[in-house]
Structure 1
Amino acid sequence: MQQFYKDRLSRHQTKLIRYLKYVFNDHVVLISSFLLGGFGLYYSDLVKTLDSRFILGKPLIGLIWLMALFTGHLATLMKDADKVFLLPKERQMTAYLKAAYRHSLVLPLSFLLLAAGISMPLLVAVARSSILDFAIFVLMLWLLKASHLLQQFNPCFLANQKTQKKEQLIWLLLALVAIISSLYLHSLAGLLVAIVSLIIQFSATKKTFATKNLDWENMISNEQQRMKRIYQFINMFTDVPGISGKVKRRRLFDGLLNKIKKTSENTYLYLYSRSFVRGAEYSGLFIRLTLVGIIVLIFLNEFMLVLIVSLVIIYLIGFQMIPMYGQFDYMVMTELYPLNNQAKKKAVNTLVRLLLLIVGVIFSLLALIVLPNKLDSLMVIAAIFVEILLFTTLYLPSRLRKIDRF
């Protein structure tokens, strides 16, 4: 059964890798670099101003660690047909679930390392912790996560719901005690509590495996929910079979859409505008990129950084809106419209220009706020609107012509 899990895991990972190349594309990497760079610069400057008198430091670190413990879930990779075809192998499923547990321990370790690494400069500033303490903190968090994953075996078995909730509460209390002990007493104190938590949960899980039968329906349902969350995240970057964006009425924007004159020349403009407002694909992308830009710019006060981030985010927003041009090519009714492709191009150009102008105004206001030199602010504002002009008059029409040729 261990080999069966490995084969299923291999197919699962191959499938995810095909999607991840769309998630971690050049634009996402570029945005992430600016975001991390801006955060790192701000965080570095902030830590230099803190010392042991900053009483919120340890509670903030404890909150970050506790949140990190909830990342990563037990990956059983169960499928709906398993409740029929694997039922005769129920007694052998122990080896399968143990293999799932070992695999599920790997990914959370990276998140825990990241959480501990981010919090360590702050911890050094407020508590003078050492590299040895860092290693102990990571080990403590990993042991707490190991006991948390063991606790997630409970829904896989037919058991009393009250007992399962009681074990969840015990794990949470022990995790809080371990984190608080490590921050306020000694790093080894937290590690000791984490070891106790793992021993308690291991004993309870061992008893569950020996005395309880599998709850196939619940186990499969939990795995389906886990995969649904993963696919919903991937769906923000590319289409995933079986996952579609939600369409909402959004009456709030009816007043804006009604300002579009009801003429044949504006057919595509209304269609693209209504689709943008009601759909989640392009509007969600627009909102996310805009928020990323706002968050980064808030923490910057240098001319070149503000200029580069503003121009890059605006370009990325415009670039990500280009596929909107072919959004309705699959619909037969659009082929019956007595309108040519020039009307489509004009509509997309008008909508993209409006969206970029909205972002340009927001970034311009932020530049006026964050930059101490107003001349620098004016230069950033001028560069923003020149970029929007060049993008919508030269680059976008050229890209749309290339799309038509293909």
Structure 2
Amino acid sequence: MTIEGLFKNRQSYYYKNLGKYLKYVLNDHFVILLLVLAGATGLAYQNYLESVLVEALLPRVVLTLVILLVIFSGNIRTLVKPADAVFLLPKEKEFNLIMRRNLVYSLTFHSFYTVVIGFLTVPLLIGIEKMEPDNQIIWILTLVFWKVTHGIYLYYSLKQHQLETSRNIRYVIIAISLTGILTSVFISVFIGFFIALAAVSIFFLYVFIYTRSENWNWESLIETEQRRTQQIYSIINMFIETPYSKHKVKRLKFLDFLYNFSVFNQNPEIYFLSRMFIRNYNFSGLYLRLVLIGGIAIYFSNNWIINSVISVLFLYLIGFQLIPLRQVFKKTVYFRLYPNTDTDKINTIQKLLVILLAGSTIVYSLASISSGWVTMTALLAINIMFIYLFVYGYLPRRLNKKEKFS
């Protein structure tokens, strides 16, 4: 089999395997939830655009941060396996063609959502009078050029060269990208466009002409691909158990003060489950991200109906994503031997979810304080009602149903 055929087979297997799990992630309920969330966010964004001031600094800062996040997100899909460092080493010249194709594929995929974000940010640029409607293609191309520049750097970082050289180039890319985006947002979109065009042209020539003879760093290739795959399956693992996700467990000693409260010391189950939640970044990290994103979305919306929809949706997402905590009991041998019933375990999960969702409710209510005390109180009441219905109505049925089919 040729190296080209090998990677075609890997690509086919990769997408077949990924599609098998994504059908459980993108179920009807979750898709409807995302559509409602997108609609609520879009309405809040539209209302914000109507009230934005031309001389306001905050929208420019937020826009810059969003664009930088989009530009420096993502990685190159290589499909490299650990054994390739041995068996494909003699075929490194042929592997160059495979890597160029991987780069083109990754840049095409990343450029797609970059273009989408670019079109979504056009009204904000027009609102702060930094761009005319006829010049939006200039802004879109600027973002794509920065995204391509970052992609070429990722390609370059997978080759063998001095660590200091790679680090210096990375700092240069970050500095130039930040300068270009700030120029586009604060000064002129046209000047930012020419900075982006010059940056991508120079870096393209440097990587594909000046350093094209450098060999691949196989250790970096393998580690990068494993990290990319792990990130994908860590998200999927929140919906369905997969054999590809590895849980990260960290000792977070600074959170030990939480266990001074009696609620965490009532029984071994709640103590163990709460410890597992905090130490397992797949759970605690997801919880913190959803709380933060929901709080920011509510903070920038002054409509109490939109705030209510956003808070309930994020509470549902948090609760739904933490249902797999039930697997902690099933996988821990101590709780198979411990003399307790399934009802006790469900009650333990309910107690932990009440604590976590109550914490989220407090954050969301405080985020809406700028809309007035009446709005904050109404939001708090709606969230408490939802928590009660979700934890004591939906959750037991869901867990009992999963138990029957497991």
Give the TM-score of the pair, scaled to structure 1: 0.78
How far does the alpha carbon of each residue in 1:343-395 deviate from its partner, in whole angstroms, 9 at most, with x for none?
3344344444454455556656667x366583x76665555444444445544
Q: What secondary structure sits across from 2:14 in the alignment? A: helix
Shift of 1:37: 4.1
Distance 1:366 1:214 in 2: 48
Q: CA RMSD in A?
A: 3.8
Shift of 1:295: 3.5
On the 8 A contact 1:246/1:279 being kept in 2, the answer is yes
- State the alpha-carbon separation in 2 of the partners of residues 163 and 258 from structure 1: 53
Residue 225 of structure 2 is aligned to residue 220 of structure 1: no
Report the more deviating stretch, 271-280 or 106-115: 271-280
Q: 1:235 to 1:50 in 2, by over 3 A?
A: same
CA contact (8 A) 1:158 1:214 kept: yes
Match of 2:206 in 1: 204
In 1, the alpha carbon distance for the partners of 2:275 and 2:183 equals 55
2:292 maps to 1:298? no
Partner of 1:14: 16
Distance (whole Å) between structure 2 residues aligned to residue 280 and residue 81 of structure 1: 29
The answer to whether the aligner puts 1:337 opposite 2:308 as a matched pair is no
SS for the counterpart of 1:152 is helix
Alignment pair present for 1:41 and 2:43: yes
Aligned counterpart in structure 1 of residue 251 of structure 2, from 244, 248, 252: 248
In structure 2, distance between residues paired with 1:150 and 1:308: 41
Distance 1:33 1:200 in 2: 41
Q: Tell me how far 1:260 sits from its aligned partner.
A: 3.7
Decide whether aligned partners of structure 1 residues 128 and 363 sit closer, same or farther in structure 2, where only a CA change above 3 A counts: closer
Match of 1:86 in 2: 88
- In structure 2, C-alpha distance between the alignment counterparts of 1:322 and 1:128, rounded to whole Å: 46
| Residue 185 of structure 1, CA deviation | 6.5
| Superposition map of 1:56-135 within 5 A | 61-127=63-129, 129-135=131-137
Cα distance, 1:109 vs structure 2: 0.7
Instruction: Write the distance in 2 (CA, Å) between the matches of 1:137 and 1:19.
Output: 36
Amino acid of the residue matched to residue 18 of structure 1? K
State the distance in 2 between where 1:119 and 1:9 align: 34
Distance 1:200 1:378, change over 3 A: closer
Q: Distance in 2 between matches of 1:194 and 1:34?
A: 36
| Distance across 1 between alignment mates of 2:283 and 2:167 | 40
CA gap of 1:303–1:338, structure 2 versus 1, over 3 A, is: same
Amino acid at match of 1:344: K
* Aligned-residue offset at 1:70: 1.5
Q: Residue 221 of structure 2 aligns to a residue in which SS?
A: helix
| TM-fit CA distance, 1:341 | 3.3
Query: What is the Cα deviation at residue 319 of structure 1?
Result: 4.4
| CA-to-aligned-CA distance 1:66-92 (integer Å, 9 cap, x gap) | 443212333333222112211221222
Q: Aligned runs of 1:182-197 on 2, under 5 Å?
A: 182=184, 187-197=189-199
Shift of 1:99: 0.9
In the alignment, the residues of structure 2 paired with residue 60 and residue 351 of structure 1 have an alpha-carbon distance, to the nearest angstrom, of: 34
Q: What is the Cα deviation at residue 103 of structure 1?
A: 0.9
> How far apart, in 2, do the equivalents of 1:361 and 1:179 lie?
35
Report the CA distance between 1:102 and its aligned residue.
Answer: 1.0
| Structure-2 separation of matches of 1:256 and 1:3 | 59
Report if the CA contact (8 A) 2:312-2:386 is conserved: yes
Separation in structure 2 between the aligned mates of residue 57 and residue 403 of structure 1, nearest angstrom: 45
CA shift for structure 1 position 228: 3.7
Give the residue type in structure 2 aligned to 1:85: F
Cα distance between partner residues in 2 of 1:293 and 1:56: 19
Which structure's CA Rg is the greater one?
1
Using a 3 Å threshold, how does the CA distance of structure 1 residues 126 and 311 change in structure 2: closer, same or farther?
Answer: closer
Unaligned runs of 5+ in 2: none
Q: Is the 8 Å Cα contact of residues 239 and 324 (structure 2) preserved in structure 1? A: no
Contact 1:257–1:270 (CA under 8 A) maintained in structure 2: no
- Identify unmatched segments of 5+ residues in structure 1: none
Between the aligned partners of 1:105 and 1:94, the Cα distance in structure 2 is 16
1:243 alignment partner, SS class: coil
Rounded to whole Å, the distance in 2 between the matches of 1:124 and 1:28 is 33
Q: How many residues align?
A: 400
1:4/1:96 contact within 8 Å kept: no
Q: 2:152 aligns with which of 137, 143, 150?
A: 150
